[in-house]
Structure 1
Amino acid sequence: MARLLLRAWWFEVRQLTGSRIYLFTVVVLPLIFASLAHFMFDGSARGQGPLVVAVSAGLMGMWSATITGSGSAINRLRHMEVLELLVASPASSMLTVLPFSLATASLGLYSLTATLVWSALFFGMEMHIAAPAEFLVALPATTLSLGLLGCLMASLFVLYPAAQSLANLLEYPVWMLSGILVPVSSLPQPLEYVSYGLAPTWGVKALIAAATGTSGALSGTALCLGLAALYGVLTYFLMRRFEWLARSAGTLSLR
């Protein structure tokens, strides 16, 4: 199973890097996010430091890469008319969707790296991580949580043929709710409770805490991993249910 996941992950990485639209999303878009964020906060009275702005912009790019790649992967399988065969195979469909989501999330690591380097070169940001060890622990945990959240949402893409449109719809709510665009504390109270159920919320908190040297990096990482594991369990059961619904409705194929 591990060999299958690794080979499927590498296959999807090669597929994604061959797409010009996806490369724009991964390579160029995070730099645009970072530039706009720095220009906006430069003349603002808000206390967000350049490092926090760069990390947030990089996480925006990571989620864009994850959700866009997950939707396009399912859409591509449907257009190639192999989604029906994969669903009908003895192996669980989660073994098909999981490598796609992990591949998009791992490629999204470039977004965070690129925005940090871009901010240091062109906006005078000091490349100083206060707790580098905690940052390096929180980074793969956040990447994994984004991948499993994308995997959870990709289970919906199996059910609906308009997978790419649905992926675009889910991009902005996660930005808002996870604390990437605005602090979670500034959201209405009902939405705060929703935010606490999102693993990336705790990943964002852990990364920013490690970058700035404040407390909460390790606890945020632990909560991020715990919720990511819950996403994996939910995806397994939802995938089985959505497979049955898609077969019943005949929506696996575009024909």
Structure 2
Amino acid sequence: MSALRLLWQAVRLQAALSRRSPEHALVLLIAPMQTTTLLALTLAAHRADVVANAVLAPGLIGLWVASLDYAGRIVTEDRWAGRFAALIAAPVPFGLVVAGRVATVVLVGTAAFAESWLVAALGFGRPLTVAEPGTFAVAVAVTCLAAIGTATLLSAVFVVSRARDVLQNSLGYPFYILGGILVPVAALPGWLHPFSRVVFLSWSADLLRGAVRGDTRGWPWAVLAVLALSAASMAAGLWLTRRYVDRTRREGTVGFS
């Protein structure tokens, strides 16, 4: 089976499973509330210059929540549900199956961008105008790729970790800060900048805000940085998933939950 066909079959599998797991769509209920809160605070403070931040932030948060809370626990849920043994027995790379399923969940999270725009336009009469729609579309596309790569890595890390819940709960707000979602990276203390730049969200947030405002100087480098971080995360996730599958086979713990 070709890699593309395998990925498509994995997408179909996850779509069927998600129909029975409506919690995967809960992120779509969170984004409108976050947009309402951020926009209300922004407009009450008469800061029209940061309306773009208030509209884009919930979309990025939704993407991260989809990657962290839902896509990141796919392998763990397979073990609980008893699907893991059947999936790794199939004569296909399990890592690619995980990547395809992760992509399905993450792409649902991208709807948060549209929801935020609609809340701003219909609820506040502040439709967000994108000065450079082409660059904005590229930024959203590479951000989705990076989210898929990161979620693939997280799914492997969570399943091998003995403190999965602690890890999952601690990777929320710190990444909203380091990722420049709530405030631009330039507003953070200088010593945090190197840490921010290894988080793909920091590049994506700057790129999206720049595309909205028409200030995208150096955007190709930002795109390349996001793609590089995406590739590194995906490679690490596939490698760690393969190591985990090999270990469970070797130790005879495939059927353990």
TM range (shorter): 0.7 to 0.9
Deviation at 1:132, TM superposition (A): 0.6
Q: Please say if residues 77 and 83 of structure 1, whose CA atoms lie closer than 8 Å, have aligned partners that are also in contact.
A: yes
Deviations 1:64-95 (A, max 9, x none): 12222213422321112122443455533311
Deviations 1:6-65 (A, max 9, x none): 12113213322442322222x210011111111222233767422221011111111112
Q: 1:8 maps to what in 2?
A: 10
Q: 1:222 maps to what in 2?
A: 224
Deviation at 1:172, TM superposition (A): 2.4
Amino acid in the other structure paired with 1:9? V
* Identity of matched residues, %: 25
Deviation at 1:99, TM superposition (A): 1.3
Q: Please say if residues 143 and 226 of structure 2, whose CA atoms lie closer than 8 Å, have aligned partners that are also in contact.
A: yes
Amino acid in the other structure paired with 2:193? E
Are 2:32 and 1:34 equivalent residues in the alignment?
Answer: no
Amino acid in the other structure paired with 1:232? M
Distance 1:246 1:120 in 2: 51
| Helix, strand or coil at the partner of 1:9 | helix
Q: 1:125 maps to what in 2?
A: 126
Distance 2:251 2:239 in 1: 19
Q: Please say if residues 105 and 144 of structure 1, whose CA atoms lie closer than 8 Å, have aligned partners that are also in contact.
A: no
Q: 2:204 maps to what in 1?
A: 203
Are 2:115 and 1:114 equivalent residues in the alignment?
Answer: yes
Q: TM-score, normalised by structure 1?
A: 0.87
Distance 1:247 1:179 in 2: 41
Q: 1:238 maps to what in 2?
A: 240
Q: 1:63 maps to what in 2?
A: 64
Listed as ranges, the matches of 1:16-55 within 5 Å are 16-25=18-27, 27-44=28-45, 48-55=49-56
Deviation at 1:165, TM superposition (A): 5.7
Q: Greater CA deviation, 136-145 or 167-176? A: 167-176
Q: 1:76 maps to what in 2?
A: 77
Counterparts in 2 of 1:230 and 1:140: CA distance versus 1, 3 Å: same
Q: Greater CA deviation, 170-179 or 52-61? A: 170-179
Listed as ranges, the matches of 1:75-154 within 5 Å are 75-87=76-88, 89-154=90-155
Amino acid in the other structure paired with 1:186? A
Return 5+ residue gaps in structure 1 as ranges: none
Deviations 1:101-151 (A, max 9, x none): 211221111101111111111112133110011111111111111111111
Deviation at 1:237, TM superposition (A): 2.3
Amino acid in the other structure paired with 2:60? L
Distance 1:46 1:12 in 2: 42
Distance 1:29 1:111 in 2: 8
Distance 1:89 1:161 in 2: 27
Amino acid in the other structure paired with 2:134? A
Distance 1:153 1:110 in 2: 21
Residues paired across the two proteins, number: 254
Amino acid in the other structure paired with 2:233? Y
Counterparts in 2 of 1:170 and 1:196: CA distance versus 1, 3 Å: same
RMSD, aligned α-carbons = 2.5
